[in-house]
C-alpha cells in the first residue's frame, strides 16, 4: 500500500497502480511508426507529411489511416483499412529492433515494481508490442498489458485505462497514468485517474499543460520527482 501526499489541503491519497503509455512515453518509436505508415500510404498514392502522422500517434493505427485518407480526400471502407493495417504491421514488425527505450525508463520501472502494480496501455498492435517488450527484456515489469486489439475506442476515450484498472483490480482514482500525448492526458482525466505528462513525444510541454495533467516532468530521468508524486512524500527508497 502506498501513499501520495496531496499538498493542497494536506490530504493523503492512496495510489496503488501506475499505467504507462508505450509510444513516445517509455520508448522512442516515432521514426518507425512514421516510416511504416508512409510506406503503406505512398503505395496507394496518399501523401501526408511526417508531422501530420506524428501528431496522431496515440489514437490507434486504424484511426491514423482514416484521418490520413480523409485529409487527402480519399474514399475508403473498413476492408481497405484492414488491408492497410496488415501491411503496416508487417513493416512495423521488421523495424522493432530500431526502437530505443528512453533514458530513465528501466530505472523508473525497477523502482516502481516492488511497490505498485504496473500496467501498459498502448494503441500499438498486440504482435508488435509483445515483440518489442521481449526484445527489450522488460515484459516482466508489467502486471498487465493492453493493446489496441483489446479496445473498441482508442484514446482519448478512457476505455483503455479503465480496462487496465479493472484487470489489475484497482479503482481508477488509485491509478496514475504516465503519458506523452494530449490524447493520453485527456483519456486519463476522463477515466478519473491522475496523470503525469512527459513531453518526450510529439507534443510540447505547453501543449500538454493546456490539458491540465497533475504533474509534468521533462523526462523519465526525473525519477525522484515521479516517485515522490506516485509513492508519496515519505516514499520508501
Q: What is the mean pLDDT of the chain?
A: 92
Interstrand relation of 100-101 and 27-28 (parallel, antiparallel or unpaired): antiparallel
Residue 237 is assigned to a structural domain of this protein: no
For residue 233, what pLDDT band results from cuts at 50, 70 and 90?
low
Q: Kindly state whether residues 12 and 34 are assigned to the same domain.
A: no
H runs (alpha helix) in 72-222: 78-95, 105-112, 126-136, 159-167, 182-190, 205-210
**Domain residue limits at 68:** 30-97
Q: Kindly state whether residues 90 and 157 are assigned to the same domain.
A: no
Name residues whose C-beta falls within 8 Å of residue 104's C-beta, 6 or more positions apart in sequence.
219, 220, 221, 222, 223
Residue 236 is assigned to a structural domain of this protein: no
> Coil, helix or strand for 175?
strand
Rounded Cα distance between 134 and 113, Å, is 17
Q: Kindly state whether residues 44 and 74 are assigned to the same domain.
A: yes
Q: Kindly state whether residues 113 and 208 are assigned to the same domain.
A: yes
Residue 219 is assigned to a structural domain of this protein: yes
Q: Kindly state whether residues 40 and 57 are assigned to the same domain.
A: yes
State mean pLDDT over 177-206.
97
C-alpha distances in angstroms, 212 versus 10, 196, 205, 208? 20, 10, 11, 7
The tally of domains found in the chain comes to 2
Residue 14: what pLDDT? 60
Residue 11: what pLDDT? 43
For residue 10, what pLDDT band results from cuts at 50, 70 and 90?
very low
Rounded Cα distance between 174 and 171, Å, is 5
Q: Kindly state whether residues 152 and 116 are assigned to the same domain.
A: yes
7 pLDDT more than 70: no
Q: Kindly state whether residues 144 and 38 are assigned to the same domain.
A: no
Residue where a domain stops, chosen among 97, 114, 143:
97
6 pLDDT more than 50: no
Among the residue ranges 9-13, 31-35, 123-127, 141-145, the one predicted with the least confidence is 9-13
**Strand partners of residue 175:** 17
pTM comes to 0.90
163: its cell numbers: 480496462
Name residues whose C-beta falls within 8 Å of residue 40's C-beta, 6 or more positions apart in sequence.
65, 84, 87, 88, 91
Q: Kindly state whether residues 63 and 177 are assigned to the same domain.
A: no
Q: How many Cα atoms sit within 13 Å of 58 on the Cβ side?
A: 30
pLDDT digits (tens, 9 = 90+) for 181-190: 999 999 999 9
Residue 225: what pLDDT? 96
139 pLDDT more than 80: yes
Q: Kindly state whether residues 149 and 58 are assigned to the same domain.
A: no
Percent of the chain having pLDDT more than 90? 91
Residue 56: what pLDDT? 95
Rounded Cα distance between 121 and 220, Å, is 17
234 pLDDT more than 90: no
Q: Kindly state whether residues 203 and 144 are assigned to the same domain.
A: yes
For residue 232, what pLDDT band results from cuts at 50, 70 and 90?
confident
Residue 74 is assigned to a structural domain of this protein: yes
Nearest by Cα to 29 from 132, 121, 114? 132
Rounded Cα distance between 99 and 22, Å, is 11
Q: Kindly state whether residues 165 and 78 are assigned to the same domain.
A: no
State mean pLDDT over 92-113.
97
13 pLDDT more than 60: no
Residue 141: what pLDDT? 98
Q: Kindly state whether residues 145 and 217 are assigned to the same domain.
A: yes
Percent of the chain having pLDDT more than 70? 92
CATH at 55: 1.10.150.240
Residue 45 is assigned to a structural domain of this protein: yes
pLDDT digits (tens, 9 = 90+) for 27-76: 999 999 999 999 999 999 999 999 999 999 989 999 999 999 999 999 99
Q: Higher pLDDT residue, 12 or 223?
A: 223
Amino acid at each position: 500500500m502506498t501513499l501520495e501526499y496531496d499538498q493542497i489541503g494536506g490530504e493523503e491519497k492512496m495510489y496503488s497502480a501506475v499505467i504507462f503509455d508505450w509510444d513516445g512515453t517509455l520508448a522512442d518509436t516515432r521514426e518507425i511508426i512514421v516510416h511504416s505508415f508512409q510506406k503503406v500510404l505512398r503505395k496507394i498514392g496518399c501523401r501526408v507529411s511526417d508531422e501530420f502522422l506524428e501528431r496522431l500517434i496515440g489514437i490507434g493505427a486504424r484511426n491514423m489511416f482514416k484521418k490520413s485518407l480523409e485529409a487527402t480526400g480519399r474514399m475508403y471502407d473498413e476492408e481497405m483499412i484492414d488491408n492497410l493495417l496488415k501491411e503496416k504491421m508487417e513493416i512495423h514488425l521488421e523495424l522493432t529492433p530500431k526502437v530505443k527505450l528512453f533514458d530513465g525508463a528501466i530505472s523508473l520501472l525497477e523502482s516502481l515494481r516492488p511497490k505498485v502494480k504496473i500496467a501498459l496501455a498502448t494503441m500499438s498492435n498486440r504482435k508488435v508490442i509483445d515483440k518489442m517488450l521481449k526484445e527489450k527484456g522488460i515484459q516482466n515489469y508489467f502486471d498487465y498489458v493492453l493493446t489496441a486489439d483489446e479496445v473498441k475506442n482508442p484514446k482519448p476515450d478512457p476505455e483503455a485505462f479503465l480496462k487496465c484498472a479493472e484487470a489489475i483490480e484497482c479503482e481508477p482514482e488509485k491509478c496514475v497514468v504516465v503519458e506523452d500525448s494530449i490524447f493520453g492526458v485527456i483519456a486519463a482525466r476522463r477515466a478519473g485517474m491522475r496523470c503525469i505528462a512527459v513531453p518526450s513525444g510529439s507534443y510540447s510541454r505547453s501543449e500538454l499543460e493546456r490539458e491540465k495533467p497533475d504533474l509534468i516532468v521533462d523526462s523519465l530521468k526525473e525519477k525522484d520527482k515521479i516517485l515522490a508524486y506516485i509513492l508519496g512524500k515519505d516514499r520508501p527508497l
